[in-house]
Amino acid sequence: MSAERGPVMDAKARRRERKVRWSARVGYWAVNCLARSWRLTVRGEENFPTQNGTRVPVIVSVWHGLMIAPIWTQRNRGIVALASEHGDGEIIARILERLGYAPPARGSSSRGGARGLMAMIAALRDGASVAFTPDGPRGPARIPQPGVFVAAHKANVVIIPASMQAPSAWRLRSWDRFVLPKPFSRVYVAFGTPFVPRFTGDGLADGEVERFVAAMDATEAMACA
């Protein structure tokens, strides 16, 4: 029976790989064509800290529903993102790599989280910047999970809040109300003032979550200005 099961499993694996490969190709093509049609304005890039004219490692933080335009603006920089271990994670990982991101760390707040967080911290310590969606992959929307603060604290780097605004966009009926700017629309991306989370011992200091959310809100307002 096991001898019969082997070829069946291999066939399923091949079909799954074909689905992932073609989905990633189509997804990359769609993102690339859509984003190149936007009329982009980027604000606050001077907020990225540099040394001798080169960016130093940071955490770029953007709410899950507002990530597509900031991700596009930071392509081809070798940034490490966190890809979910859920079904679509491999597709997203391959799209990100085609956009010039480093091979993503794997994990999420609901599955493989500790492993993914450790991989992100290791990447920061090795000199790479990383990208977090602190309310992803399943929400609740705009409620940060602790991983972004822990990573900044352990790697001794700042968090750069990121956001976007698109007057002409589709807003999906997903938990994050994902914003997808329409073709040829005006899109504004903003990077806010560096945020350094304060800790008391090994724990996040009182009021830091609220201070972080306020920094993210201020960056969104900056994009809308």
Q: How confident is the model at residue 217 (pLDDT cuts 50, 70, 90)?
A: very high
Q: Is the pLDDT of residue 89 over 70?
A: yes
What local confidence, expressed as pLDDT, does residue 75 receive?
97
Q: What is the mean pLDDT of residues 40-48?
A: 98
Q: CB within 8 A of 66, min separation 6: which ones?
A: 162, 163, 164, 179, 220
Model confidence band, residue 1 (pLDDT cutoffs 50, 70, 90): very low
When comparing pLDDT for 144 and 90, which is higher? 144
Per-residue pLDDT of 57-85, as tens digits, reads: 999 999 999 999 999 999 999 999 988 76
For 80, residues 6+ apart whose C-beta sits below 8 A from its C-beta are: 101, 102, 103, 104, 105, 119, 120, 123, 128, 129, 130, 131
Split at pLDDT 50, 70, 90, the class of 110 is: low
Are 71 and 99 in contact by the 8 Å Cβ rule? The answer is yes
Q: Is 113 left (phi over 0), alpha (psi -120 to 50) or beta?
A: alpha
The pLDDT of residue 106 is 77
pTM metric for this prediction: 0.90
Q: What average pLDDT does range 37-57 have in this prediction?
A: 97
On the question of pLDDT at 114 being above 90, the answer is no
CA dist 206 and 223 (Å) reads: 28
% of the chain with per-residue pLDDT over 90: 76
Q: What is the pLDDT of residues 8-28, one digit of tens each?
A: 668 888 888 888 889 999 999
Domain residue ranges in the chain: 2-224
Q: Residue 126: its pLDDT value, please?
A: 97
Q: Is the pLDDT of residue 137 over 90?
A: no
- Per-chain mean pLDDT for the chain: 91
Please tell me the predicted confidence (pLDDT) of residue 36: 98
